[in-house]
Amino acid sequence: MADLVVTFHCARGDAEALMAVLREAAEAPVHARDEQVLGRDFGDAGTGEQVEGLLRRIALEVVVAADRLDPLVAAVAAARRRAPVRWQAVPLHAHGRIA
């Protein structure tokens, strides 16, 4: 079964709780990075973000087997959070660790 890179884009205030959920559900390392998103879809934006036209988000990324995707998304959906979370899954051709 192929592996996926699954990225969840969440509000900064939700990141810590979602990292814990992902770490447990994925049983894999969770990578987090700050993002600034320029866009026109402000359905997820707070008032200040709508005024600035800039969304401040955290991208949480994890590599999982394709059959773990649905449970992972369900775990994030069930997690306590304040804002919506967007996600995407991309097939991973190859990966490894170089020591």
Strands (E), the chain: 3-11, 31-38, 54-65, 86-92
* Residue 17 DSSP SS3: helix
- Global pTM? 0.88
> Cα–Cα distances in Å, from 80 out to 15, 16, 30, 39, 85?
11, 11, 18, 26, 11
What pLDDT, on a 0 to 100 scale, did the predictor assign at position 46? 72
What pLDDT, on a 0 to 100 scale, did the predictor assign at position 51? 65
Segments making up each domain of the chain, as ranges: 3-92
Rounded Cα distance between 68 and 50, Å, is: 35
Q: Consecutive 10-residue runs of the chain (99 residues): their mean pLDDT?
A: 93 95 94 86 70 83 96 96 94 90
Fold of the domain spanning 3-92: Alpha-Beta Plaits (3.30.70)
